[in-house]
Amino acid sequence: MLLSSQYAALGVLLIAPTVLVFCAVIVYPLVSAIYLSLFSIYTPTLQGKWVGLDNYAKLLASGEFWGALRVTLVWTIGTLVLQLVFGIALALLLHQNLVFRSLARGLILFPYFVSTVVAVLVWRWLFNDLYGILNHVLLAAGLIDMPLDWLGQMPNAMVSLILVGAWKYFPFVVITVLARLQTIPDHLYEAAEMDGAGPVARFFDVTLPQLRDVLLVVILLRAIWDFKEFDLIWLMTGGGPVTSTQTLPLLVYRSAFGLNEMGGASAVAVLMMLVMLVFMALYIRAQRQE
């Protein structure tokens, strides 16, 4: 056998386990999800009947799908903007000469690594209407004169979600931006300073353009991940009050395992993926350009 074919065969052999697992747990389920979305399936018995595109027609005609899409967008944009603002600000701050800088970095990253379950438990305790420290502090400071219901009413529930989401995920922005900041050569700042640029001008004229590429990647990645977030929202509010914080992933879960309508749930999942494909394609393109 030719040397190059031998090598190619070895390469294929090495990737074979990956391909096998991919086919079994990703490709097959993915195709299957599209297929299932054409059926009406009752979850407990798994009995299904072919309904064609009915599930999609019903969804697109229902307020529930559009409502969930709107909630998802509000949540994604809200939390993403906060993550970016806090993330970039903190990255700039941490880039300075701080005492115990690595400790500060470690503490800031921790929310990101801690399990969502832990994060939610802690925040639900902080948000507790009677004994939660947040209400106590705000009452004592005179900012509110009645304990707030953080999760049980709108728009509080969405605001709380967005805040907790920002708290949990902004470290990703911090660390990626910080890594990029550290590679901006000092002489750029020195040159700008000599040209008479003040701190604000230096940020907009030197720092921000240098961060452009990394910010694009960060925004795309975080947008994708926030869009598909399930754990945090499900555990914080369960989609409530009623369905006012029910995002698309929650709608999928609830249709499949709450309303026992697996076909309809698959249709939601497929539609949700179609929306995400736009971001995914953009991200994959950005990666290829690197």
Partner 1 sequence: MRNRSLTSRILLNVLAWSIVFVIAFPLVWMILTSVKPQFELFRIPPTILPQEVTFEHYHRVLVETPFLKYFRNSVILAVGTTVLVIVIATLGAHSLVRFSYPGRERLAQLVLFTYLLPSVVLIIPLYLLMVWLGIANTLFSLMLAYTTFALPFALWLLRSFMQGIPQDLEAAALVDGASRMEAFVDVILPQAVPGIISTALFTFILAWNEYLYALVLVNTDEARPLTTGVMNMLITAFNIEWSLLMAASVMMSLPVIIVFALLQKHLTRGFGAGGVKG
Partner 2 sequence: MAEVTFDKVRKAFGSAVAVRELDLAIRSGEFVSLLGPSGCGKTTTLRMLAGLETPTSGAISIDGTVVNELAPAKRDIAMVFQSYALYPHMSVAQNIAYPLKKRGVSRADRDVRVAAVAATLQLGALLDRKPRQLSGGQQQRVALGRALVRDPRVFLLDEPLSNLDAKLRAHMRAELIELHRRIGKTMVYVTHDQLEAMTMSDRIAVMHDGVLQQFGTPKEVYETPANLFVASFIGSPGMNLVKGELRAAGSGLAFVRGDLSLPVANGGTAGAAVTLGVRPEDITLGAGPFACTIRVVEPTGHETIVMAEAAGETLVARAAPDSQLVPGQVVPFAVRAQRLHAFDADGRRLPLVFAQSNGA
Residues of this chain that bind partner 2 (CB under 8 A) = 2-4
Decide which of partner 2, partner 1, none touches 108; Cβ closer than 5 to 8 Å per partner kind. partner 1
Nearer to partner 1 by Cβ, of 203 and 279: the residue is: 279
**Given 69, 138, 192, 221, the residue binding partner 1 (CB under 8 A):** 221
Kindly write down the DSSP assignment for every residue of 24-80, as one continuous string. IIIIHHHHHHHHHTTEEEETTTTEEEE-TTHHHHHHHHSHHHHHHHHHHHHHHHHHH
Alpha helices for 195-247 (secondary structure H): 199-202, 208-227, 231-236
Helix, strand or coil, per DSSP, at residue 267: helix
Decide which of partner 2, partner 1, none touches 123; Cβ closer than 5 to 8 Å per partner kind. partner 1
**Given 74, 192, 197, 224, the residue binding partner 1 (CB under 8 A):** 224
Q: Positive or negative CA dihedral for 177, 181, 183, 188?
A: positive
The answer to whether residue 159 forms part of the interface with partner 1 (CB under 8 A) is no
Q: Rg for the chain (alpha carbons), in Å?
A: 24
Nearer to partner 1 by Cβ, of 24 and 57: the residue is: 24
DSSP 261: B
The answer to whether residue 70 forms part of the interface with partner 1 (CB under 8 A) is no
The answer to whether residue 280 forms part of the interface with partner 1 (CB under 8 A) is yes
The answer to whether residue 176 forms part of the interface with partner 1 (CB under 8 A) is yes
Decide which of partner 1, partner 2, none touches 3; Cβ closer than 5 to 8 Å per partner kind. partner 2
Task: For residues 264 and 115, give the distance between their C-alpha atoms in angstroms, rounded to a whole number.
Answer: 30
CA distances from 153 to 95, 242, 243 (A): 39, 9, 11
**Given 45, 52, 61, 131, the residue binding partner 1 (CB under 8 A):** 131
Nearer to partner 1 by Cβ, of 144 and 280: the residue is: 280
Q: Please give the residues from 234 up to 263 whose contact with partner 1 meets the rule CB under 8 A.
A: 235, 248-249, 252-253, 256-257, 262
Decide which of partner 2, partner 1, none touches 2; Cβ closer than 5 to 8 Å per partner kind. partner 2
Closest contact distance (angstroms) between CB of 2 and partner 2 is 6
Task: For residues 150 and 124, give the distance between their C-alpha atoms in angstroms, rounded to a whole number.
Answer: 9
**Given 14, 143, 194, 200, the residue binding partner 1 (CB under 8 A):** 14
Nearer to partner 2 by Cβ, of 11 and 155: the residue is: 11
DSSP 204: I
Q: Which H, E and C letters describe 144-172, residue by residue? A: CCCCCCCCCCCCHHHHHHHHHHHHHHHHH
Helix, strand or coil, per DSSP, at residue 6: helix
For residues 20-32, b (16+ Cβ closer than 10 Å) or e, as one string? eeeeeeeeeeeee
**Given 39, 75, 123, 150, the residue binding partner 1 (CB under 8 A):** 123
Closest contact distance (angstroms) between CB of 29 and partner 1 is 4
Closest CA to 76 of 212, 178, 222, 174: 222
The answer to whether residue 118 forms part of the interface with partner 1 (CB under 8 A) is yes
Closest contact distance (angstroms) between CB of 140 and partner 1 is 7
Nearer to partner 1 by Cβ, of 230 and 244: the residue is: 230
